[in-house]
C-alpha cells in the first residue's frame, strides 16, 4: 500500500471511463502539490464525467494521451522544482492502456536525462467484472508497444516470448502466432479474487498445458517481485536471445515489462496486442486496495528504489 | 515408443525458422515443390503459414544437404550446384525497422537488411571453409582456402558492406556486423528526439555488395563460375525498397547470384508494386505455389510424412498405416479432383452391404429429395453393380462424399458434435484432412501419437481419430482466431466470424436444402464486396483457411483474392460438417445474402 502521509511533487493519472481511475487521486490528493491528467480519445463512457469533475475540482491540468501530451504533463508537474533536486511524482497507471504505460515509462526515462525522478507507480485494483471475461475478442492492434518496441542487434538470435496472461487468450495466441517465438514463457496472475484466477486458467488452459514447463505465477499484490523476475529474465537472456514481453491481464505486468524493456533496449521489447477501438468500454470499480512500488529514473535507466 | 513430448524436437517444431538447417534436414520429406525449387534458377515460393516455405528454402543450404538422409538426398544434393544463403526475418524485427522515425526509416531499414545479408553470407562462407564434418553424409560445395586468402575474402566482405574493420576470418565479419547493428540501434534511438546525420556506412546497396563479395570469394577460391543463391524467407517482412530491387534482379543478367524468395499469398508489397511480381514471371523465374495446386501431390506428400513418422517409431519394422487407421467412409480422390472418370466399375463399398451403399440406402430412406434424385437418374441402389461403365456410375462416384456426409449429419442425431469428426477418420481421409499443410500434418501426427497403443499393433479407433482431428482443428481455429479483425460496414468483424458465415452457409446448402450433387463446394470473390470483407478473406488466405481452386495461373498467384475462386480448407470440414470434396463455386455475395449477422446486410452487392 502507498503511505498516504508521504508527499509528492505531482500526480499523473488518466481521466478515462473507469470509476477506479480516480481512486488514487481521491485518496492522495492532499499529499501532492500538482496534478496532471491524460485524456485518451473515445473516453466519454461510464464514469468519465464524474472523473473529469473530480480532476477539475482538484485543479488537474489536462493533456492528450499521446507521447507529446505525456511529455508536457510530466514537464508541467516538475516545472518549478530545481534540477538538482530529485522530483517525486506518483503515477496512477490503473486506467492507462498498455501503450500509454509504455509511453509514460519512456518519457520518464527521456526526461531523466535532464533530471532525476523518484516515481511511485500506484495501481488501484478493480473489482471482479464478469462481463469483461465474456466480451468477444477483436484484434486490431498487433505490433510493438509505442516507444518500447526495442531493437534487435542480432535478428538471428532466438526469440523468447514472455506472456503475461489475462482473460483474453485469443490475444495471447495472436501475439504468439505473429511473433513465432522459439520458446514461450507464461506468467499467470494470481489476483485477490479467486474467480479471476479461475477464468484466466480456464481461458488459457491449452496454452498453459502446451508450455507447462515454462509457467510461472505472480501475485498482483507484489509488483516489486514481478518486476524483479522480469528484470532477471531479460538480463539472463540478453546475451543469447531476444525477449519480447506480451503484457495481457493485470497492468502490473505491463508496467514491469515496460521497465524491464527500457533497461534492455537492445534485447528486450514490449509487444502490444489489443482490440483497440473495437474494445467494448467496461467500467471497473476500485476495491480499495492500492499496490505500489517506487522506481528511480536516472539517465534513461529505471532502478527500483524502494517498495 | 516415445511420447510426443519426448520425441525429436525437430519433428514437432511448428516453425522451421527456429531450427538449424541440420535439424530441418533430419525430418525433411521432399514435396514436388522442392524439385521445382531446385530446378529453377530464380524462383518465388508462395504459400500460407505452415505451408513449408522456410523448410524448403533451408533445404537448399549445404549445411542441410550434407546431413539429409532421405531417399532422394544424393540426387538433390548433386542437383543443387549453388551455395544457398538463407536470409530469414521475423515479424518483431520487421516491425522494429518499420517503427523507425520517418526521416531515416528507409535508409536504416535497408542498412539493417544489408548487414543481415552480410552476416548470412559470412556464415555460409564459414561453413564452406570450416563447417563440421561429423554427421555429414556427403560433402556439398566445400572449398579450401589458406588463412591468408580467407582473410582477404573476409576483408572484401567487410569492405563491400562498409563494416568498418579488417577481419581476419568470417567470425570476425560476424562481429563487425553485430557492431554495425548495435550502432544502427543507437542511431535509430537518437533519431526519435533529434535530427541526425546519416553516416555514409548506412548507405549500402545490399545486393550489389553481395555480388561483389561473392565474386571476390569465388576468385580467391579459384571457382570463378561458382554460383550463389540468396534465399530470402518471408519477403513480406522486408522493406518494400528491397523487395522492388530483388524483383528487378530476378530478370537475370550476368550476376553470380540467383534469388529464391518466399512470400505469403497476399502481399502488401505486391499491391504497392502494381503487379510487378507477376510481370517478372516467365522465362527468368518460376513461381511455385504451395497452396491450391495439384492436390493429389499434397495428399501424397502428407502420406509420406505419415510413413516417415511411423517408420521412426518402429526402427527396423514396418507399420501398415491402412491397417492402423482403417478405411475411410469418404473417398480421398474426390477431395482432390473433379475428374469423375474412373475405371468404370464401382467398388464393393458401393454395394448394398458396403459402407457407402448402406449410407446411400439410409439417406434415400430419410431424404425425399435424394430419393427423387435417384429415381430421376434411374439409379437403383439394389443393383448398383449393374451401373459399371455407365455415366450413372460416374455420377454415383462423384457424389459419394456428399452423400455420406449428408447422411451422417441428417436425422435424429444430426448434430452429433462429439462424434462428428469420426466421419473424417480412416487413413485416406486422414491424409486429405491437413490439406497438404505440413505444419498441421505434424500437429495431427502428434495428436494421433498420443492415442496410439504402445506396440502399434492395435488399430486406432475412429473415435480416437476423431478426437485427434478435433484437437488439430481446434489448433487451426485458434490460429484463425488470432488473425486481425477488420471493420465491415462500421462493425468489427473477425476472420473466424466470416469463415463461420461461409462454412455455415455451405453446410446449409449441402445438408439442409434439396439434395443436389452440384451443391457448391466453394465460392468466388467478386470486386464489389466491402473492403473489410476483402481484407478478412486475404487474412484467411494467408493463414491457410482458403484454398484457391481456380487452377494455377502463375501470373495471378500474388493477385490477392478478388476475382478468384476458393474453397474452405479441409481442416475446417468437421467444424462446419462439410464433405471434403471439390466442386463448383458460387458467388460469395449470393451465398451469404441475407445471412449476415448485422441489421444492415454485409453483402448487398452482387459480384
pLDDT in tens, B475-484: 899 889 888 8
Closest residue in A to B113 (Cα–Cα): A155
Residue A139 in contact with partner chain B when CB distance is under 8 A = yes
Q: Does domain A132-278 have CATH number 3.40.50.2300?
A: no
Residue among B437, B431, B433, B429 nearest B404 (CA)? B429
**DSSP character for A94?**
T
Residues 227-256 of A with CB under 8 A from B: 242, 244
- The reply to whether residue B492 touches residue A138, judged by beta carbons under 8 angstroms, is yes
Residues 262-291 of A with CB under 8 A from B: 265-266, 269, 271, 275, 278
Q: Domain A8-129+283-306 belongs to what architecture?
A: 3-Layer(aba) Sandwich (3.40)
Cell triple for B273? 508494386
State the pairing for strand pair A8-14/A87-92.
parallel
**Cβ neighbourhood burial of B529 (10 Å; 0-12, 13-18, 19+):** buried
| DSSP-assigned beta bridge partners for residue A290 | A124
Q: Which residues of B touch A (CB under 8 A)?
A: 15, 17-18, 49, 88-93, 95-96, 99, 116, 119, 178, 181-182, 184-185, 188-189, 193, 474, 478-479, 481-485, 487, 492, 494
SS3 B90: coil
**Average pLDDT score over chain B:** 86
pLDDT of residue B294: 67
Would you mind telling me the total number of residues written for chain B in this entry? 607
Query: Among A138, A150, A265, whose Cβ lies nearest the Cβ of B485?
Result: A138
Q: Which residue has the higher pLDDT, B240 or B386?
A: B240
Residue among B21, B224, B219, B241 nearest B114 (CA)? B241
**What angle do the packed helices B495-507 and B531-543 form, to 10 degrees?**
90
Q: How many CA atoms lie within 13 A of B556 on its CB side?
A: 13
Q: Which residues of B360-395 are buried (b: 16+ CB within 10 A; e: fewer)?
A: bebbbeebeebeebbeeeebebeebeebeeeebbbb
Q: What does the alpha-carbon distance between residue A294 and residue A299 come to, in Å, rounded to a whole number?
A: 17
pLDDT of residue B273: 52
Quickly state the pLDDT bin for B457 (edges 50, 70, 90): confident
SS3 A168: coil
Range from B58-72, B193-207, B328-342, B496-510 carrying the lowest mean pLDDT: B328-342
Q: Provide the residue ranges of all domains of chain B, joining segments of one domain with +.
A: 25-290, 297-433, 486-592
pLDDT of residue B298: 84
Per-residue pLDDT at A243 exceeds 70: yes
Rounded mean pLDDT of A22-37? 93
- Name the minimum distance, in Å, from the CA of A284 to any CA of chain B: 23
- Name the minimum distance, in Å, from the CA of A124 to any CA of chain B: 30
For residue B68, the surrounding DSSP H or E stretch is none
State the pairing for strand pair B227-232/A301-306.
unpaired
Per-residue pLDDT at B11 exceeds 60: no
**Cβ neighbourhood burial of A211 (10 Å; 0-12, 13-18, 19+):** middle
Residue among B501, B477, B480 nearest A139 (CA)? B480
Helices (H), chain A: 23-28, 48-57, 67-78, 98-111, 130-134, 169-179, 194-203, 205-210, 223-237, 251-263
Per-residue pLDDT at A103 exceeds 90: yes
Per-residue pLDDT at A182 exceeds 50: yes
Cell triple for A12? 499523473
- The reply to whether residue A152 touches residue B92, judged by beta carbons under 8 angstroms, is yes
At A33-83, the pLDDT tens digits run: 999 999 988 888 888 999 999 999 999 999 999 899 999 999 999 999 999
Q: Which residues of A touch B119 (CB under 8 A)?
A: 156
- The reply to whether residue B93 touches residue A153, judged by beta carbons under 8 angstroms, is no
- Domain limits, CATH 3.40.50.11700, in chain A: 132-278
Identify whether the C-beta of residue B237 lies closer than 8 Å to the C-beta of residue B93. yes
pLDDT of residue B599: 43
- Chosen for mutation from A138, A140, A182, A184 (greatest number of chain B CBs closer than 10 Å) is A138
Q: What does the alpha-carbon distance between residue B542 and residue B46 come to, in Å, rounded to a whole number?
A: 10
Quickly state the pLDDT bin for B249 (edges 50, 70, 90): confident
- The reply to whether residue A206 touches residue B89, judged by beta carbons under 8 angstroms, is no
- The reply to whether residue A271 touches residue B17, judged by beta carbons under 8 angstroms, is no
**Average pLDDT score over chain A:** 89
Identify whether the C-beta of residue B54 lies closer than 8 Å to the C-beta of residue B260. no
Q: Which residues of B touch A211 (CB under 8 A)?
A: none
Give B13-62 as a DSSP string: -S-GGGS-HHHHHHT----HHHHHHHH-SSEEEE--TTSSHHHHHHTTSH
Q: Which residue has the higher pLDDT, B396 or B392?
A: B396
Identify whether the C-beta of residue A303 lies closer than 8 Å to the C-beta of residue A260. no
Q: What does the alpha-carbon distance between residue B498 and residue B483 come to, in Å, rounded to a whole number?
A: 12
Q: Which residues of B touch A149 (CB under 8 A)?
A: 95-96, 99
3-state helix, strand, coil in chain A (%, to 5): 35, 30, 35
Q: Which residues of B touch A168 (CB under 8 A)?
A: none
Quickly state the pLDDT bin for B247 (edges 50, 70, 90): confident
Q: What does the alpha-carbon distance between residue B269 and residue B237 come to, in Å, rounded to a whole number?
A: 9
Q: Which residues of A touch B86 (CB under 8 A)?
A: none
Q: What does the alpha-carbon distance between residue B177 and residue B163 come to, in Å, rounded to a whole number?
A: 6
Closest residue in B to A141 (Cα–Cα): B484
Rounded mean pLDDT of A16-32? 91
Query: How many CB contacts within 8 angstroms connect chain A with chain B?
Result: 95
For residue A5, the surrounding DSSP H or E stretch is none
Per-residue pLDDT at B605 exceeds 50: no
- The reply to whether residue A152 touches residue B95, judged by beta carbons under 8 angstroms, is no
Identify whether the C-beta of residue B580 lies closer than 8 Å to the C-beta of residue B429. yes
- Chosen for mutation from A156, A203, A239, A263 (greatest number of chain B CBs closer than 10 Å) is A156
Q: Which residue has the higher pLDDT, B176 or B456?
A: B176
Per-residue pLDDT at A133 exceeds 90: no
pLDDT of residue B320: 86
pLDDT of residue A2: 58
| Ramachandran region, residue A16 (left: φ > 0; alpha: ψ -120 to 50; beta: rest) | beta
Instruction: Please state, for a pLDDT cut of 90, what percent of chain A lies above it.
Output: 56
User: How far apart, in Å, are the Cα atoms of A172 and each of A133, B38, B157, B288, B474?
Assistant: 14, 38, 41, 33, 15
Cell triple for B585? 463455386
Confidence (pTM): 0.89
State the pairing for strand pair A268-274/A141-144.
antiparallel
- The reply to whether residue B92 touches residue A269, judged by beta carbons under 8 angstroms, is yes
- The reply to whether residue A170 touches residue B15, judged by beta carbons under 8 angstroms, is no
Rounded mean pLDDT of B146-172? 96
pLDDT of residue B346: 72
In three-state form (DSSP H/G/I as H, E/B as E, the rest C), the secondary structure along A187-239 is: EEEECCCHHHHHHHHHHCHHHHHHCHHHEEEEECCCHHHHHHHHHHHHHHHCC
pLDDT of residue B379: 87
Q: Which residues of B touch A299 (CB under 8 A)?
A: none
Rounded mean pLDDT of B271-294? 65
Cell triple for A107? 518519457
pLDDT of residue B6: 44
Helices (H), B318-426: 321-325, 355-366, 368-376, 391-398, 400-409
Amino acid at each position: 500500500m502507498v503511505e498516504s502521509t508521504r508527499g509528492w511533487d505531482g500526480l499523473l493519472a488518466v481521466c478515462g471511463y473507469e470509476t477506479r481511475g480516480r481512486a488514487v487521486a481521491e485518496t492522495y490528493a492532499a499529499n501532492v502539490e500538482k496534478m496532471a491528467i491524460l485524456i485518451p480519445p473515445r473516453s466519454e463512457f461510464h464514469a468519465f464525467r464524474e472523473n473529469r469533475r473530480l480532476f477539475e475540482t482538484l485543479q488537474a491540468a489536462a493533456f492528450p494521451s499521446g507521447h507529446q501530451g505525456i511529455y508536457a504533463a510530466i514537464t508541467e508537474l516538475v516545472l518549478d522544482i530545481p534540477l538538482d533536486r530529485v522530483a517525486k511524482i506518483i503515477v496512477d497507471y490503473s486506467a492507462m492502456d498498455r501503450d500509454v504505460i509504455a509511453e509514460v515509462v519512456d518519457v520518464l526515462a527521456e526526461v531523466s536525462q535532464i533530471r532525476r525522478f523518484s516515481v511511485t507507480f500506484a495501481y488501484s485494483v478493480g473489482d471482479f467484472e464478469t462481463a469483461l471475461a465474456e466480451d468477444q475478442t477483436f484484434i486490431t492492434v498487433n505490433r510493438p508497444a509505442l516507444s518500447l518496441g526495442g531493437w534487435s542487434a542480432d535478428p538471428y538470435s532466438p526469440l523468447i516470448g514472455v506472456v503475461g496472461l489475462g482473460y483474453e487468450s485469443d490475444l495471447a495466441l495472436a501475439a504468439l502466432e505473429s511473433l513465432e517465438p522459439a520458446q514461450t514463457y507464461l506468467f499467470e496472475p494470481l489476483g485477490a479474487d479467486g474467480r479471476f484466477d479461475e477464468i484466466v486458467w480456464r481461458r488459457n488452459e491449452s496454452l498453459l498445458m502446451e508450455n507447462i514447463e515454462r509457467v510461472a505465477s505472480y501475485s498482483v499484490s507484489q509488483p516489486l517481485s514481478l518486476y524483479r523476475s522480469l528484470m532477471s529474465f531479460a538480463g539472463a537472456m540478453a546475451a543469447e536471445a531476444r525477449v519480447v514481453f506480451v503484457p495481457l491481464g493485470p497492468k502490473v505486468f505491463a508496467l514491469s515489462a515496460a521497465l524491464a524493456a527500457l533497461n534492455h533496449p537492445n534485447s528486450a521489447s514490449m509487444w502490444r496486442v489489443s482490440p483497440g477501438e473495437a474494445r467494448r468500454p467496461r467500467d471497473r470499480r476500485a476495491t480499495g486496495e492500492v499496490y505500489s512500488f517506487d522506481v528511480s529514473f536516472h539517465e534513461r535507466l529505471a532502478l527500483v528504489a524502494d517498495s | 515408443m516415445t511420447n510426443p513430448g519426448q520425441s525429436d524436437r525437430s519433428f514437432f517444431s511448428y516453425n522451421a525458422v527456429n531450427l538449424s538447417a541440420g535439424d530441418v534436414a533430419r525430418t525433411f520429406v521432399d514435396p514436388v515443390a522442392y524439385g521445382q525449387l531446385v530446378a529453377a534458377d530464380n524462383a518465388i515460393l508462395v504459400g500460407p503459414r505452415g505451408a513449408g516455405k522456410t523448410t524448403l528454402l533451408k533445404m537448399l543450404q549445404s549445411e542441410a544437404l550434407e546431413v539429409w538422409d532421405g531417399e532422394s538426398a544424393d540426387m538433390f544434393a548433386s542437383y543443387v550446384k549453388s551455395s544457398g544463403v538463407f536470409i530469414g526475418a521475423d515479424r518483431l524485427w520487421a516491425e522494429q525497422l518499420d517503427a523507425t522515425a520517418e526521416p531515416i526509416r528507409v535508409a536504416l531499414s535497408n542498412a539493417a537488411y544489408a548487414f543481415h545479408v552480410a552476416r548470412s553470407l559470412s556464415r555460409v562462407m564459414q561453413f564452406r571453409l570450416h563447417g563440421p564434418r561429423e554427421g555429414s553424409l556427403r560433402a556439398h560445395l566445400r572449398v579450401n582456402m589458406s588463412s591468408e586468402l580467407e582473410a582477404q575474402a573476409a576483408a572484401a566482405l567487410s569492405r563491400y558492406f562498409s563494416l568498418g574493420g579488417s577481419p581476419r576470418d568470417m567470425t570476425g565479419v560476424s562481429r563487425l556486423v553485430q557492431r554495425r547493428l548495435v550502432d544502427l540501434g543507437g542511431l535509430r534511438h537518437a533519431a526519435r528526439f533529434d535530427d541526425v546525420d546519416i553516416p555514409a556506412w548506412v548507405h549500402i546497396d545490399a545486393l550489389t555488395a553481395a555480388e561483389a563479395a561473392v565474386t571476390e570469394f569465388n576468385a580467391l577460391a579459384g571457382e570463378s563460375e561458382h554460383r550463389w543463391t540468396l534465399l530470402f524467407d518471408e519477403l513480406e517482412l522486408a522493406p518494400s525498397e528491397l523487395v522492388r530491387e530483388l524483383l528487378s534482379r530476378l530478370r537475370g543478367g550476368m550476376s553470380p547470384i540467383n534469388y529464391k524468395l518466399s512470400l505469403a499469398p497476399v502481399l502488401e508489397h505486391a499491391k504497392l508494386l502494381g503487379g510487378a511480381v507477376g510481370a517478372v514471371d516467365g522465362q527468368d523465374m518460376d513461381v511455385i505455389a504451395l497452396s491450391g495446386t495439384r492436390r493429389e501431390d499434397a495428399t501424397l506428400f502428407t502420406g509420406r510424412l505419415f510413413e516417415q513418422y511411423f517408420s521412426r517409431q518402429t526402427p527396423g519394422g514396418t507399420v501398415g498405416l491402412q491397417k492402423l487407421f482403417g478405411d475411410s467412409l469418404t473417398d480421398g480422390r474426390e477431395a482432390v479432383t473433379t475428374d469423375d472418370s474412373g475405371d468404370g466399375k464401382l467398388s464393393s463399398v458401393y454395394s448394398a452391404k458396403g459402407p457407402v451403399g448402406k449410407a446411400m440406402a439410409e439417406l434415400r430412406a430419410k431424404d425425399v429429395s435424394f430419393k427423387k434424385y435417384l429415381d430421376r437418374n434411374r439409379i437403383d441402389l439394389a443393383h448398383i453393380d449393374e451401373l459399371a461403365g455407365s455415366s450413372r456410375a460416374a455420377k454415383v462416384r462423384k457424389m459419394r462424399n456428399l452423400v455420406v456426409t449428408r447422411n451422417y449429419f441428417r436425422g435424429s442425431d444430426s448434430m452429433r458434435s462429439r462424434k462428428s469428426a469420426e466421419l473424417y477418420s480412416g487413413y485416406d481421409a486422414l491424409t486429405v484432412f491437413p490439406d497438404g499443410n505440413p505444419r498441421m500434418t505434424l500437429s495431427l501426427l502428434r495428436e494421433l501419437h498420443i492415442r496410439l497403443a504402445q506396440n502399434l499393433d492395435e488399430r486406432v479407433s475412429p473415435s480416437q481419430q476423431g478426437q485427434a482431428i478435433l484437437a488439430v482443428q481446434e489448433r487451426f481455429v485458434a490460429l484463425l482466431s488470432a488473425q486481425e479483425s477488420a471493420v465491415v460496414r462500421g462493425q468489427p468483424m473477425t476472420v473466424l466470424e466470416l469463415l463461420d458465415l461461409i462454412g455455415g452457409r455451405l453446410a446449409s446448402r449441402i445438408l439442409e436444402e434439396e439434395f443436389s450433387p452440384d451443391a457448391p463446394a466453394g465460392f468466388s470473390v467478386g470486386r464489389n464486396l466491402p473492403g473489410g470483407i476483402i481484407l478478412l478473406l486475404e487474412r484467411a488466405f494467408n493463414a491457410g483457411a482458403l484454398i484457391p481452386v481456380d487452377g494455377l495461373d502463375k501470373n495471378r498467384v500474388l493477385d490477392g483474392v478478388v476475382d478468384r475462386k476458393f474453397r474452405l480448407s479441409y481442416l475446417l470440414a468437421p467444424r462446419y460438417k462439410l464433405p471434403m470434396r471439390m466442386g463448383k463455386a458460387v458467388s460469395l455475395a449470393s451465398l451469404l445474402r441475407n445471412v449476415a449477422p448485422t441489421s444492415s446486410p454485409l453483402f448487398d452487392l452482387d459480384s
